[in-house]
Amino acid sequence: MVEAHGAMSRRLSLLVKTHAFGDALLATPAAACLAAGGDEWWALAGFSSREVWERMPGIGRVLTAPFPPRRTPAGWASLLVWSLGAMRTLRGVELTVVFHRSPGVRRWVRALTGAPSRSGGASALGLWEHCEPFPDDGYVGCLYAAVAGVRPDDYRPLFAVRPAEAAWASGELHGGGWVAVAPGGASNPRDEVPAKRWPVERFGELCSAILASGRRVVLLGDAGDARHASGLVSSLGGVSERLRDFMGRLDWGRTAAALSRCDAFVGIDSGPAHLASACRVPAVVLFGPTRPGSLYFDGEVVAVQSDAPCAPCFANSVFTGCHSGRPGCMDRIPADVVWRSLERLIE
């Protein structure tokens, strides 16, 4: 199944990926290799990544930290209290695999466990750490595998739909011809990147084209996406047997189940796009600031890229803001270009 390199024969080991949901999905192929190696593995998650690790076969326990903390005194106090309590549990860990390059995160994990670590980053923080380079321009799934010391056979992310979720989706989205559209995105516990969003009116044009082709549309996203795309459903004639609106109504499990009923997915570079890949749903993904090759392996999705001369301007690091002074690279992607890409994909 996999080839592992490096001695990792530990009684109890801890993998760490606290945020965000899509980033955690990208770490699942490496995590699956670790979990298949025979050791006992736990996971340290944050609220946004917990759902990923709770569904990962071979992970015996998931500890959920209030991380990343709210950047307020109360948020930091909450993390401190949690950390002091977690130390009693985590002091039995003999190895940590930290899918982060932040020195702060790596030092925090060391303080929690006292264990040696495999981590990402420019250089080791001490003799206790083996550090793998973590450049911005490499495919992050390969970088996570290097941190873990494994070589997965398949770099597609993993996310298991539970039987009850599949049954729910079968009842809600009966028949075929469904296309999942996620008109929001660009927000996670680490940062918010509104420059990644495609204009809502363009999504409206796209959905109209999908419906006119005889196919059906299901809208996906969280409560923030529902607010961002308010008015989209009414502009398309309202909810019907051919248009379902699940924005702000589903958890990640039911979102995955709904995706699994669809012939294709369309959205920006976001958690739902990575989840579509995990569900093996063909996807058209729109890119402006982000670089496709850093976040999706070659051929994983159909990438529609902005033709802005400054795009892409960042990869898998924290977005530092638009350098042009006038964010708008996503505005340069026409709806008809996206529709033609989708049409070719589903035909």
Q: How many domains does the chain have?
A: 2
Question: What mean pLDDT comes out for the span 47-54?
Answer: 96
Give me the pLDDT at residue 296, please. Answer: 93
Give me the pLDDT at residue 319, please. Answer: 58
Whether 101 maps to a domain, the answer reads yes
In this structure, the answer to whether residues 41 and 168 fall within a common structural domain is no
In this structure, the answer to whether residues 112 and 207 fall within a common structural domain is no
In this structure, the answer to whether residues 144 and 189 fall within a common structural domain is no
* Domain, as residue range, for 30: 3-151
Separation of alpha carbons 295 and 303, rounded Å = 11
Cβ contacts of residue 11 below 8 Å, gap of 6+? 39, 40, 94
In this structure, the answer to whether residues 59 and 178 fall within a common structural domain is no
pLDDT of 1 > 50? The answer is: no
Where residue 3 falls among pLDDT bands split at 50, 70, 90?
A: very low
In this structure, the answer to whether residues 204 and 121 fall within a common structural domain is no
In this structure, the answer to whether residues 145 and 168 fall within a common structural domain is no
Give me the pLDDT at residue 8, please. Answer: 45
In this structure, the answer to whether residues 132 and 188 fall within a common structural domain is no
Ranges 134-143, 182-191, 192-201, 238-247: which has the least confidence? 182-191
Give me the pLDDT at residue 320, please. Answer: 59
Structure confidence by residue, pLDDT tens digits, 74-128: 999 999 999 999 999 999 999 999 999 999 999 999 999 999 999 998 899 999 9
Separation of alpha carbons 319 and 104, rounded Å = 18
Whether 231 maps to a domain, the answer reads yes
Whether 26 maps to a domain, the answer reads yes
Give me the pLDDT at residue 7, please. Answer: 46
Structure confidence by residue, pLDDT tens digits, 193-236: 778 889 999 999 999 999 999 999 999 999 888 988 889 999 99
Record the pTM: 0.92
Whether 287 maps to a domain, the answer reads yes
Q: Coil, strand, or helix at residue 295?
A: helix
Separation of alpha carbons 199 and 183, rounded Å = 8
Where residue 315 falls among pLDDT bands split at 50, 70, 90?
A: low
Q: Which residues pair with 13 in a beta bridge?
A: 41, 95
Give me the pLDDT at residue 328, please. Answer: 82
- 151, 184, 217 — which closes off a domain? 151
Could you tell me which of 142, 122, 105 has the C-alpha nearest to residue 14? Answer: 105
Is 345 exposed, middle or buried (CB count within 10 Å of its CB: 0-12, 13-18, 19+)?
middle
In this structure, the answer to whether residues 170 and 229 fall within a common structural domain is yes
Q: Which residues pair with 344 in a beta bridge?
A: none
Structure confidence by residue, pLDDT tens digits, 26-40: 999 999 999 998 899
Whether 190 maps to a domain, the answer reads yes
Give me the pLDDT at residue 71, please. Answer: 85
pLDDT of 11 > 70? The answer is: yes
Whether 215 maps to a domain, the answer reads yes
Could you tell me which of 267, 55, 26, 294 has the C-alpha nearest to residue 156? Answer: 26
In this structure, the answer to whether residues 24 and 79 fall within a common structural domain is yes
> 222 or 322: whose pLDDT is higher?
222
In this structure, the answer to whether residues 62 and 16 fall within a common structural domain is yes
Question: What mean pLDDT comes out for the span 268-279?
Answer: 95
Q: CB of 131 within 8 A of CB of 120? A: yes
Give me the pLDDT at residue 312, please. Answer: 82
Give me the pLDDT at residue 324, please. Answer: 61
In this structure, the answer to whether residues 234 and 335 fall within a common structural domain is yes
Question: What mean pLDDT comes out for the span 319-331?
Answer: 69
Cβ contacts of residue 21 below 8 Å, gap of 6+? 48, 49, 51, 52, 188, 252, 271, 274, 275
Whether 295 maps to a domain, the answer reads yes
In this structure, the answer to whether residues 139 and 219 fall within a common structural domain is no
- 85, 118, 151 — which closes off a domain? 151
Whether 157 maps to a domain, the answer reads no
Ranges 168-172, 193-197, 212-216, 338-342: which has the least confidence? 193-197
CATH code of the domain containing 212: 3.40.50.2000
Cβ contacts of residue 129 below 8 Å, gap of 6+? 106, 110, 116, 117, 118, 119
- 102, 125, 151 — which closes off a domain? 151
Separation of alpha carbons 137 and 143, rounded Å = 10
Give me the pLDDT at residue 5, please. Answer: 45
pLDDT of 186 > 70? The answer is: no
